Structure 1
């Protein structure tokens, strides 16, 4: 089952990714060095991340998943270095977010 997810790190920064298999053990491919710069050695010894499903599908093509992933990256601004760890698509400071996403009031969507 393909999913698009958001990972939240202890510092509040996020990473948006996709997983075509919905593996319980997959936490994305964010750049290790970017994340490591934000944590001290002590902080790295024990921390918790959260993975929230933003959108899921019974079946969806890789192209559809990439489009949805990119939409959420822009919507949540996870490509803004002050907010998240996504670096693609490149952050444009003048870009207006597509919408405001609040996972506490908006359940995970289903891809069609």
Structure 2
């Protein structure tokens, strides 16, 4: 519980910074430093931690930890892309079934399926 609390606190505190350039990253161009996150998430196991991810300030990260973070981000991006495509398809099905902006998506699609079953 204390580890989770410390993780959340570190993540929360590093997100409150106005600009990552405040981290003082010597040798990093300011245009890049502005885009960098103040902390990275490292998957469990990268530092012997056996639960979730750990958050580490970028200024303390090793190359291996940065690689682990990039792998985690790639996995998340791929999953988000798949979810995005599936949700767009669901939206399109709902629109084709006659959904309006305040219609229940699954209810509208389900009603269409029921109607089609009755017709056949």
TM (norm. structure 1) is 0.23
> Structure 1 or 2: larger helix share?
2
Highest CA radius of gyration, 1 or 2?
2
Higher RCO structure, 1 or 2 (CA under 8 Å, sep 6+)? 1
